[in-house]
Chains A and B, each alone.
Chain A
């Protein structure tokens, strides 16, 4: 047998082995959701569905090469023409939020390793996925403005998540030390309920206000368990 033929045989064997491994791994890959792909499909669908009616509206009922400017016209242009950029920005917000949350988990590793910490972490990672996933909002959207709004809210929600996650982990860390690692069940429930409180900011100022309000609710929670009722609802802001 020549060296060439031997080399071919080895190559075939290797290729077969790789194929075998890939075939075995395929079901596992298939189960992973490609949320970015789902978002892209949902956005394409929404734009396809809405662009004619919306364009007719912004051009006063006529399709013109130089449409009449209307409020939010640039938003319409942006949604129609820059969908790749919008999805890319949303993906970057997701990556930044994921990185920020992982750093927070490491910073509060002692609490994150407790059962309560693990539950809180699960809650926040589910919230991250739900903030990133757009298909429901885009399906409900009746106008391109609503599509734009859904994209904006998703981005700001993801930007706010690492800060809210840190607030929750900080609260959990002090709960843990206060109750020697075993907070009572009702306190745990109240803690997890606050972890699930979501925000839906429309812009950066809104995001700041809502995060501040959430921080005050955490303070109110701690004031109550420390035996001090928050004065006249000062710490119980409504959004």
Chain B
């Protein structure tokens, strides 16, 4: 539908008015110019069928370009192209929300995707679904950036050369036509919870009975499956129920961190609360390095990961004795004796506590432990009567598939002619001992459907771009087994295919289109008679009501566990010279699949605060022994496999234990994630490498996570590590910053922490200035419950996505210029030991986390010092930034006691991170087109030289105000209903630690929490009147446990009691 553009006809006989000589002469050039009325690319719209994608791409690009580039001295003129016809549902400027879900290797997460003009811009959890409850994890938040990653696979390629989708389709058809009974055909996929995929697998299996179907997850839960099968005699998924657990023991299970599920973290936090009559639970953790779970522990025991089985065994013996459980006793007796003994009183008291809560306790063993240890854990739970109470079973989502080891063997035997790799990246992450990449060359044809042209791509004869989950139809199951939809928010940006599209092609379905495939599965699964009604409803809510799997009974097969324990629980005692190597999934990049995502790369690890790299965590004592400092590179060798990696000293690590996150050292991840990607070139000095170190070579198929007997030697080099928090000690300032006490103190006096720190000394504060009144009917405020906050840091990335916060690159992080508006401060703290001295080596510190963002002080120190009035107070109590007014003196940041203001030292949004330092005139400026599309249109993209900081999501505040006014029409009631919206950080918080709302509205949650006994202001002596209040954290130590008296002791007033009225009661100086 080419548009013919004509200038309006002149009235005959009238005077002729003309705009240019061209028009007067009616030259062909002028006619052409008229057609190109919107010269900058918009005429592409007029050629043939306008794809929604092309249109949206233009929309995003033009709006983002407007007024940004420095093409000439005057403001460049760009055109916004409006919809020529109204699009159903679309109100310009209004976001649309769709329910969908994101596939992860642990099942799908139910989500709500926010779209602006057809561009998904922000992910929220689906509040209607129990697994999400409105919250998400880190990867869901960051997945928006994955969608717009400019480094994604963009082309269909045949033998490395660009081909067309049609040619690819033909090639697949040819393969299918020649495949016969499927002999020589093999599939390698990632784990998935998609019923449609499983259905297609059945169709493919019936068409090609001899085809091989292999599933590989480098960080999969095969050990857990094996343990469950041994312990319960069947394939079963075991899920803990924290809501019923009064005492929890975690044996190397980071159930609040890398092994977390949103609903479990929330259930745990709910039992952690002291509000609403809840009885606070107690957590014991045994682990080899600090995890966020260990940070939340009431009692923590440092033990090598390889010795966790020995702890479990010692504990099992104790519990068998206490409960008189015969089965457990027989298992303990069957197991080989261990050489090591752990503190007997610790184990004894822990066991007594667990045994005292039969049926309301919970013992969790980490997925990375051997099956024998995990099965022993189940036996302990059985002895404690927890099966069916705090632990329940569910049917697994999928039938068992072949493993990558079997596939590699078939490839090695040349039994595979055609290998179809969907998503998986085995060339990078397959266990080192099977040498997958070399064996894959035996296949004649390798078809790969991949997000990126990564390490596996060179193996592929055919490489096809894979559609992101926001671009494709699909379905999946949540962790609780309920059935979720996946719907596309945008057409595939690079024409990618989804997993089920490709599999449907192999199943030779007549209509291989995503929507129909899913609809068919839905019809079968739901058994609906009325698809026309139920299908839209399914999509609308994002899940099928009542589809959650029921709890299956669990019965322990004690003999099988005893047999497993006897055979596989042998634990050599550690020796002082060798190290164990613990390979864990990374909090940022998981198994490496998110490596090219800048948000997660710059996301500081919740414990080590390391960005852009991984490192070998080592205890202070072991580091001292080897003479290592942070960043010193070591060579780790385990039975022939060697890697080099820098060390990072992390307090609370077990001695002789190295913890290394997998997922780094990618060579073909893209510009962000690959090693050797220089994040910034310096005029003098070396380039700074990022991307970390690949630890997969240390993993074998038999021992994928914990290797013992590693030799460590320093190679005499050092490597720059970008850590966002230089200093981890509280310097005795806990009383003003992170208040903590015990449950006992709280029960005795709920306001026990009111006069901690400087608050014990200060007189009444007075302000020098008369402030303008805060007289709006809304007054915004926030509370952060330190008792619920685990320090996971998802709030940081949610904020980044919501507020268009740029990443700055590794070099800039080293220079201390990261831009996060909210950060999770992590402190290691220790109370005095029995001798009154502090633990200098930080062997057994406590870990506390504190989310830190703009406190929106009513007496804001930043406001008085800004010379140009760029940061001022609004009537509703926000400390607002006028970016346009800011000239960037940085005085406000200097005067901010919380150092939450962030300055744009470079043009992070408009320059490539490798080209931050260039003369303006010669450097390329501007954002990648796809990245422009990811921005939230309601938030300004800041230029260099201005200060920015948390706004309390002012765009959401304004949107709510407008909506309330619009709904209220002529009524005088313009008060936003209590808790009808919230900030991005509060919305995403899995444990509900952050609460945002209107403190002037007594109905709102935040107003109620603020008046609670635990609420306190940070640095109150400065008279800031902060609008963010923190709630004192509580620990619930077991009074009989050794060391219980020093729990949470660091923030307590040390020298004397409070002044003033309380002084009489005995706080004598």
Answer yes or no: are A and B bound together in one complex.
Answer: no
